[in-house]
Structure 1
Amino acid sequence: MAGRGETASDFTLVGTGGDTVREFTLSEFAEGHPTVLVFYIYDYSPVCTVQMCEVNDAEFLTFDPEVRVLGISTDGPYSHQQFMSDNNLSYPLLTDDEKRVYEDYGMVERAENGVREPKRGVVLLDGDRTVRYRWEAEDNWDEWDTQPIAEVNSRVGELAGDDGDEWSLVDDGGG
């Protein structure tokens, strides 16, 4: 798992940006752009629907065309297409059915029965794929807290004027 100041793992996942299903590679999609990775559990779960709509309505998508966003869950691309349409989402949703990317980004936990459970989370990368902010839910079924998106909004503003200095405020975990 890449922590603050470390380069995030590259990945390629199948997903959809709307009408077509295709592969998305992080390094190509995010090259030179601040990128927000939003990990969620399932399309249509109440807490995840609120989370994904909140991200869609975030200021960084409205005011900064340079910011890229990728939603990642274990659901399939056709479910994602319908979920995007039903909720008017404007960013791609990717399928990590093997939980590989969840593992690489530390967004999975082992349940008592040994099953790997995905976790909700948000990761902000700068244009070089350096981790600048990371948040993960303490409990997947807790109500969505808008604080992570508020943090990303403020960090994106800082990132636009980033001179390469290390940021002093970065959350590497917790809720």
Structure 2
Amino acid sequence: MLPEGTAAPEFTLPGTAMDRDASEMSEYSLADALQRGPVIINFYLFDFHPECTEHMCSLHDLLWFDLDDRVTVFGISTDRSFSHRAFAETEELTFALLSDSDGSVAESYDVFYEEFNGHKRIAKRSAFVVDTDGTIRYAWSTDVPTVQPDFSAVKDALEGLQTVHSDD
């Protein structure tokens, strides 16, 4: 896992979000999102996996990131955009789900399994907060798929960024 204080690797990935036309797949880039504000990146193993559903729904249920429309949330897995669309619709997720179909983005963040239960190049459950300068300010990852992130620590990291920017 990349440590806090390092530069977040840039990416552009195809994905889907519920605020777009159901037939539309778009490309999302970290650089574009950082122009608006900080980014929360959540890597997860699979759409519809029970633990991943809990993880992504828990993130969705945290209304505090909706209060600041500058914060972008990306859910990233190696599943395809069409699976993401169905997952987002079923779970009523409102943030973008991105397809890292070859695992290269997860690998660049050093949060991937070469093999997991017979599947090659799968993202590990992990969370990052990236500031507008592209620096990782919070990093968390686990090798145990049933472990959920501490979203209060994510919130604290975001609040710390707001404090820094309000002092400028």
TM-score by length of 1: 0.84
Map residues 104-143 of structure 1 onto 2, 5 A cutoff. Answer: 104-111=108-115, 115-140=120-145, 142=146
Q: Which runs of 5+ in 1 are unaligned?
A: 166-175
For 2:122 and 2:87, the matched residues in 1 are separated by: 21
Q: Which runs of 5+ in 2 are unaligned?
A: none
2:148 matched to 1:145? yes
- Checking the alignment, whether the CA contact within 8 Å between 2:77 and 2:122 is kept in structure 1 is no
In structure 2, the partner of 1:92 is 96
In structure 2, the partner of 1:14 is 14
- Checking the alignment, whether the CA contact within 8 Å between 1:60 and 1:67 is kept in structure 2 is no
Task: Select the residue among 128, 151, 155 that pairs with 2:157.
Answer: 155
In structure 1, the partner of 2:38 is 34
For 2:70 and 2:149, the matched residues in 1 are separated by: 22
The count of residues paired between Structure 1 and Structure 2 equals 162
For 1:34 and 1:60, the matched residues in 2 are separated by: 14
C-alpha displacement of 1:17: 1.4
For 1:56 and 1:156, the matched residues in 2 are separated by: 16
AA in 1 matched with 2:92: N
2:164 is paired with a residue of what secondary structure?
Answer: coil
- Checking the alignment, whether the CA contact within 8 Å between 2:78 and 2:122 is kept in structure 1 is no
Between the aligned residues of both structures, percent identity stands at 31
TM-score by length of 2: 0.87
For 2:158 and 2:63, the matched residues in 1 are separated by: 10
CA shift in 2, pair 1:117/1:74, >3 Å: closer
